[in-house]
Amino acid sequence: MEDNNKILIVDDVAKNIQMAMNILKNEGYKMFYAKSGEMALKLVDEHDFDLILLDIMMPDINGFEVCKKLKSNNKTKKIPIIFLSGKDSSSDIEQAYECGGIDYVVKPFITIELITKVNSYVRLKQLEDKFEISKES
């Protein structure tokens, strides 16, 4: 992957952020993190992310609300969002897809699953961005 690919990890538990960063550290991404939904929404204003890993259960705004806000904003609506959750109920998974998530990973992470999904969606975002640029020119 290109070194300029940026991933935002959003989780209120530092240990979960650290675990995701450790799993992805050898993939060559520039990683950012936010410990709250509010902080995540500020960071997406400052940076162009290629992927967001988003926890559902957070104290200020939950991941579903953060996702809805990102998907309703023209600047951020095309960023793929993978939900991360300790919950694996079908209603949570359905809600994650309904609000705009592209995938769902249950914690604790399976290393190869997280790496494969992250690499796939970053590559997909790169291709979509290239396609958009070629359509405009």
Ranges of each domain in the chain: 6-136
Q: Range with the lowest mean pLDDT among 22-26, 44-48, 101-105, 130-134?
A: 130-134
CA distances from 66 to 28, 38, 89, 118, 132 (A): 26, 8, 20, 19, 25
- 12 contact partners, CB below 8 Å, separation of at least 6: 35, 36, 55, 57, 58, 59
Q: Among all chains, which residue has been given the structure tokens 């769902």?
A: 104
**Domain 6-136, CATH homologous superfamily name and number:** Response regulator (3.40.50.2300)
Percent of the chain topping pLDDT 70? 98
Which pLDDT does position 3 carry in this prediction?
57
Per-residue pLDDT, averaged over 40-66, amounts to 96
Instruction: Name the pLDDT band for 135 (thresholds 50, 70, 90).
Output: confident
The pTM assigned to this predicted structure is 0.95
| Cα–Cα distance, 78 to 126 (Å, whole number) | 11
> Can you tell me the distance from the alpha carbon of 41 to that of 55, in angstroms, rounded to the nearest whole number?
13
Q: What own/partner pairs with CB < 8 Å and gap ≥ 24 does 88-95 have?
A: 92/56, 95/64
Burial (0-12, 13-18, 19+ Cβ within 10 Å), 130: exposed
3-state helix vs strand vs coil in the chain, percent to 5? 50, 20, 35
Rounded average pLDDT over 67-83: 97
Which candidate, 4, 117, 110, places its Cα nearest to that of 53? 117
As a whole number, the mean pLDDT across the chain is 94
